[in-house]
Amino acid sequence: MKAKVFSINGEEIKDITLSDDVFGREVSEGSIYYAIRNELANRRVGTASTKGRSEVRGSGAKPWAQKGTGHARAGSKKSPVWVGGGTVFGPKPRDYSYTMPRKMKRAAMMSILSLKVKNESLVVVEDFSIDSGKTKDLIKILKSLSVDGRTVVVLKDDDAMVRRAGRNIPGLKILSFNRLNAHDMFYGKKIVLLETAAGNLNDFYGKGEGK
């Protein structure tokens, strides 16, 4: 399939060929859902912790006699029914992360790329860098491309100067072509894809070499 390549000034300069296997495949909503769910689970810290009745501070003595007081039976002030007592089935530190099948992750990313092309939310731009590292220079490029709101810029490599220029722009995510994540890509209003990164994605996903 063909896609237009824009200059950093927002002008059409040429066409580029995108792989149908990567950018024009049938969208798998299920794989997208599971990929996003997996990423969110892997981000969870899992440090929430509560104390059970054996861990809370307090005496283990029986508060009063079993019979004859008029009170309900009580064996310990650390019982969950008492104020200050232990918590029943409360959270404990745990690891929420899990591994997702590689083929499903690849299918999810290709489905997202195809969905963005279908919705005309993906823009291919000539390769650029921000030598100054200044935010205003990157904002100027994004404005010329009529891009605003939640945006993802996909780089051909890990360009430190572009990342530096974009770190103060609200709603902007900057990713390398081989380090994409489903959550940011799916919820991005616009995907700005550098020309070389587009070719890299053709190879990275199209030939099954992505790690």
Let me know if residue 124 belongs to a domain: yes
Let me know if residue 48 belongs to a domain: no
Token pair belonging to 26? 């049938």
- Burial environment of residue 21 by CB neighbours within 10 A (0 to 12, 13 to 18, 19 or more): middle
Let me know if residue 37 belongs to a domain: no
Q: Is the pLDDT of residue 209 over 50?
A: no
pLDDT tens-place string over residues 112-170 = 999 999 999 999 999 999 999 999 999 999 999 988 889 999 999 888 999 999 999 99
**What DSSP designation does 173 have?**
E
Distance of CA 163 to CAs 43, 129, 157, 168, Å? Answer: 21, 10, 11, 9
Let me know if residue 32 belongs to a domain: no
Let me know if residue 49 belongs to a domain: no
Token pair belonging to 102? 């590689």
Domain around 110: 2-27+102-206
pLDDT tens-place string over residues 64-110 = 999 999 999 999 999 999 999 999 999 999 999 999 999 999 999 99
Let me know if residue 91 belongs to a domain: no
CATH number at residue 178: 3.40.1370.10
Let me know if residue 88 belongs to a domain: no
Let me know if residue 144 belongs to a domain: yes
Q: Which amino acid belongs to residue 158?
A: D
Say how many domains are in the chain.
1
3-state SS class at 7: coil
Nearest C-alpha neighbor of 204 from the set 116, 68, 105, 99: 105
pLDDT tens-place string over residues 154-196 = 999 888 999 999 999 999 999 999 999 999 999 999 999 999 9
Predicted confidence at residue 207, as pLDDT, reads 61
What is the side-by-side order of every strand in the sheet holding 12-17?
12-17, 2-6, 122-125, 190-194, 151-155, 172-176
pLDDT tens-place string over residues 39-71 = 999 999 999 999 999 999 988 899 999 999 999
Task: Report CA dihedral (168, 173, 179, 180) to the nearest 10 degrees.
Answer: 170
Cα(24)–Cα(18) distance, integer angstroms: 8
